[in-house]
Amino acid sequence: MNLGQPSLVNQTTTPSQYTQHRFARITGTGSYLPPKRMTNAELVLELAAQGIESSDDWIVERTGIRARHFAEIGVMTSDLALIAAKNALEAAKIDASAIDLIIVATSTPDMVFPSTACLLQHKLGIAGGAAFDVQAVCSGFIYALSIADAMIQSGAATKALVVGAETFSKILDFKDRTTCVLFGDGAGAVVLEASDAPGILATDLQSDGQHAGILCVPGNVAGGAVTGSAFLTMDGQAVFKLAVGVLAETARTTLKKAGKTESDIDWLIPHQANIRIMTSTAKKLKLPMEKVIVTVDQHGNTSAASIPLALDTAVRSGKITKGQTMLLEGVGGGFTWGSALIEY
């Protein structure tokens, strides 16, 4: 699918780089969901109190979502990121002081600046090394992972903390049932470490800004106030149509770069946006749903957090084991999309 001119944003890794003898491997995963869990039935009751009609059947049929988690007022994105990061560090059996790179993928930062990554670094009680945010919405974790991989391969970093964290509940219009039922809050994290054996086998990042209007929060800060709307808006049908095509395309591109085929995939871990998108993508890649990690039913769409959340859930449940090959992929506002093939 050709959506326009090739993107300038196209960080890749290829088999030819294996001669560098320096790679990045995931050594720990972690995640966190805020305690407040809201089922469809509970959300439908809240919407009904505002005169908004919906139903559990309507939500499940169109999205596959049955529940999501919302952060309490005053809980920030960095707070969720902190617990996910600590869990990943514990799994990797390393101290936070060893981290020399922090990248946080988020569209709901604590503040305009400084970055949520810098705030997370301080909450971890460490300093030094690079810390910055990546804003690619639901593709953010793939973007952040690819950047960290490149920095480790180049020698610019040795141990990286890559986090996807969101408090999307803050930007939802609960009078718009087409969007407010879709999203939730949460965080997921991985620790990447330099290794002499390939871990991240290949990545592919793409974007096409001509589609910015179909999924966006069009407001901005000016003169001490929000100009425009601070709520998420989405053309669901347009997003669905684009997502299915580009997710299959980026998956095949990444597999080709790694010299692999669909049959080499043990697990597909897609962005958890909509079960219909996930099912359609798996079908295009000729993968049975038994090979797809699905958490959208319990987490909703947590944007940049959804892929690392799903990854950690699958690792801790024992589904994903060492030596298996995973294809991670996401698509989000921008329009952005990308994928990464990883040997765990």
Whether the Cβ atoms of residue 87 and residue 189 lie closer than 8 Å to each other: yes
**In angstroms, rounded to a whole number, what is the distance separating the alpha carbons of residues 60 and 44?**
12
Residue 52: φ, ψ to 5°? -100, 125
What SS3 class is residue 124? Answer: coil
The closest of 271, 204, 286, 287 to 239, measured between CA atoms, is: 271
Under DSSP, the state recorded for 161 is E
Q: What token pair was written down for 130? A: 């690079």
**Farthest CA pair distance, the chain:** 62
Whether the Cβ atoms of residue 275 and residue 297 lie closer than 8 Å to each other: yes
Catalytic residues: 138, 271, 301
Whether the Cβ atoms of residue 159 and residue 192 lie closer than 8 Å to each other: yes
